[in-house]
């Protein structure tokens, strides 16, 4: 089978790395790809958001199956266009992708179908939004309603910060159409975790747990990013909590989408806050957000743990046969540390020479996924905020952490930044369980 991956980040590198192992794929392509993906696939200089360009390329290369990575082309209707052209594609239609592209749509869906989440309200008027914040108090969360490349979320711990976030959206139009409306949400306290579920619109097949780290600095401080690292499994999600998530979150969401006339096929990403309000002190999951695609960097720690061939699972999500499949997992935990350009998530410079990846990947159990790199004058250089996902598996979470940071120490580029505490929450929770 001739397969095309759409996207060019760390998530897509992980997908390419995993799909390249499938015996059912005769040739793998990626648009636009990156230097890491080029080790596994033929890369084409077509932007992921160029819907007609992707369609033309898929037709010209006789592509039989397309796996869409990022949310932007999904929200723009790439899957719709491919299906109309007779090309099978993994991912939701534009209508179903509203679960991520409109936070207000997602919140309304959850409210209407009893899916646990925080209090919320939607505004397009700054004064009304400010009055609501004053009534609710801080801390509180301000979100641009639409897709803002991970930059439209502010956790406001005081009124001034909340007012600034509201004005950025509704007065200064910092996020364009994505910020024409904003959603103000209850600030949820607890421990975050992520669950992905493959679905064919009727059945779900949940993947193992993972935990992302959004803030840029150690100790979950500083501004939010697209993700500074991840690990899997997340000890906070016990078997009992996992079952609760399926029963109260992912399965009801898939049923709700079907009831609304927007059958959801693809992967449903539930970003959760495990609040301390559950029965018998068990963490109670509440939805922070739904996403319509694989998470980044969670995918980079899930796929190295997957024993099963990924391709048949993705195909089954498209053709309604997911019930026939199971996923086999490795027991070994996996940890990924994101190395970023200095200054990220604010302004940063590009073009810094990267060295040491080959030495890092020579370590047992280490894989480096490229997130923001390019070839320039025969050298590998930085080309984005998040540059590399340095990923390692180990016999336990502690050894996986040690391996990942040993690999990070071998990689160098000017002004490189990374968190030094990825996985520490898992170690702390495991220590609590042994006490």
**Based on the domain organization, do 279 and 395 belong to the same domain?**
no
The predicted model gives 56-73 an average pLDDT of 98
170 and 50: one domain?
A: no
Distance CA(31)–CA(40), nearest Å, equals: 13
Enter the tokens of residue 279.
Answer: 């029965």
Question: What angle, rounded to 10 degrees, do the helices at 103-113 and 251-259 form?
Answer: 100
- Confidence (pLDDT) at 153: 87
Do 30 and 62 fall into the same domain? yes
Of 234, 229, 192, the closest CA to residue 210 belongs to: 234
Looking at 295, 324, 353, the residue that finishes a domain is 324
pLDDT digits (tens, 9 = 90+) for 267-280: 999 999 987 754 55
pLDDT of 11-28, one tens digit each? 999 999 999 999 999 999
Same structural domain, 233 and 317: yes
- Find the CATH number of the domain harbouring 7: 3.40.50.20
Residues 305 and 346 in one domain: no
Model pLDDT, residue 163:
95
Residue identified by tokens 């033309």 is 56
Does residue 103 lie in a domain region?
no
* Bridge pairing between strands 65-68 and 2-7: parallel
**Where a domain ends, among 299, 324, 349?**
324
pLDDT confidence of residue 111: 94
Question: What is the reported pLDDT for 275?
Answer: 79
Q: Which two tokens stand for residue 172?
A: 């200064």
412 assigned to some structural domain = yes
Q: What's the whole-number mean pLDDT along residues 117-130?
A: 94
Q: Residues 295, 226: one domain?
A: yes
- Among 283, 301, 324, residue at a domain's last position: 324
Residue 186 located in a structural domain: no
pLDDT in tens, 304-357: 999 999 999 999 999 999 999 999 999 999 999 999 999 999 999 999 999 999
Position 211 in a domain: yes
Q: Higher confidence at residue 289 or residue 435?
A: 289
223 is a domain residue: yes
d(CA 13, CA 368): 9
In a domain, 111, yes or no: no
Beta carbons within 10 angstroms of residue 215's beta carbon:
16
271 in any annotated domain: yes
Does 174 share its domain with 218?
A: no
Looking up residue 141, the CATH number of its domain turns out to be 3.30.1490.20
Domain limits for position 212? 191-324
Q: pLDDT class for 151, splitting at 50, 70, 90?
A: confident
Q: Are residues 341 and 306 in the same domain?
A: no
* Interval 94-106 mean pLDDT: 95
Judge if 320 and 338 occupy the same domain: no
User: Could you tell me if 293 and 371 lie in one domain?
Assistant: no
Q: Within a domain: residue 407?
A: yes
CATH code of residue 421: 3.90.600.10
Please count the CA atoms within 13 angstroms of the CA of 31 that sit on its side-chain side. Answer: 24
Q: Which pLDDT band holds residue 209 (cuts at 50, 70, 90)?
A: very high
Which of the residue ranges 63-72, 158-167, 173-182, 275-284 would you say has the lowest mean pLDDT? 275-284
Helix pair angle (126-136, 159-170), 10° resolution:
160
Query: pLDDT tens, 241-275?
Result: 999 999 999 999 999 999 999 999 999 999 999 87
Query: What confidence score (pLDDT) does residue 276 get?
Result: 74
Same domain, 37 and 77: yes
Side-by-side strand order, sheet with 334-340: 211-212, 229-232, 334-340, 386-393, 366-370
297 and 375 belong to one structural domain:
no
How many domains does the chain divide into? Answer: 4
The pTM (predicted TM-score) of the whole model is 0.95
């Amino acid at each position: 089978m001739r397969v095309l991956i759409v996207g060019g980040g760390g998530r897509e590198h992980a997908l390419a790395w995993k799909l390249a192992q499938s015996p059912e794929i005769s040739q793998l392509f990626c648009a636009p790809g990156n230097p890491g993906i080029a080790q596994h696939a033929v890369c084409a200089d077509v932007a992921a958001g160029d819907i007609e360009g992707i369609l033309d390329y898929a037709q010209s290369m006789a592509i039989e199956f397309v796996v869409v990575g990022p949310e932007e082309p999904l929200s723009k209707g790439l899957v719709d266009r491919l299906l109309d052209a007779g090309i099978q594609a993994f991912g939701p239609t534009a209508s179903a992708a509203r679960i991520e592209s409109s936070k207000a749509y997602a919140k309304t869906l959850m409210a209407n179908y009893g899916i646990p989440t925080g209090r919320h309200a939607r505004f397009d008027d700054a004064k009304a939004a400010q009055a609501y914040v004053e009534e609710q108090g801080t801390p509180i969360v301000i979100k641009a309603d639409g897709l803002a490349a991970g930059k439209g979320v502010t956790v406001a711990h005081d009124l001034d910060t909340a007012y600034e976030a509201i004005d950025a959206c509704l007065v200064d139009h910092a996020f364009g159409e994505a910020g024409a409306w904003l959603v103000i949400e209850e600030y949820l306290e607890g421990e975050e975790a992520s669950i992905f579920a493959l679905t064919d619109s009727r059945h779900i097949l949940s993947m193992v747990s993972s935990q992302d780290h959004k803030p840029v600095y150690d100790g979950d401080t500083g501004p939010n990013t697209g993700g500074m690292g991840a690990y899997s499994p997340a000890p906070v999600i016990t078997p009992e909590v996992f079952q609760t998530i399926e029963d109260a979150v992912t399965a009801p969401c898939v049923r709700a989408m079907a009831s609304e006339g927007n059958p959801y096929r693809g992967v449903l990403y539930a970003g959760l806050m495990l609040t301390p309000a559950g029965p018998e002190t068990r963490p109670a999951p509440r939805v922070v957000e739904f996403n319509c695609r694989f998470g980044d960097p969670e995918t980079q720690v899930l796929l190295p743990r997957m024993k099963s061939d990924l391709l048949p699972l993705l195909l089954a999500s498209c053709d309604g046969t997911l019930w026939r499949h199971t996923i086999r997992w490795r027991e070994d935990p996996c940890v990924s540390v994101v190395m970023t350009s200095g200054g990220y998530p604010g302004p940063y410079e590009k073009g810094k020479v990267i060295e040491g990846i080959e030495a890092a990947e020579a370590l047992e159990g280490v894989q480096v996924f490229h997130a923001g790199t390019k070839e320039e004058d025969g050298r590998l250089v930085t080309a984005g905020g998040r540059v590399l996902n340095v990923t390692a598996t180990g016999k336990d979470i502690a050894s996986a952490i040690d391996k990942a940071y040993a690999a990070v120490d071998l990689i160098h580029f000017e002004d490189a930044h990374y968190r030094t505490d990825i996985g520490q929450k898992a170690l702390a929770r495991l220590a609590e369980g042994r006490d």
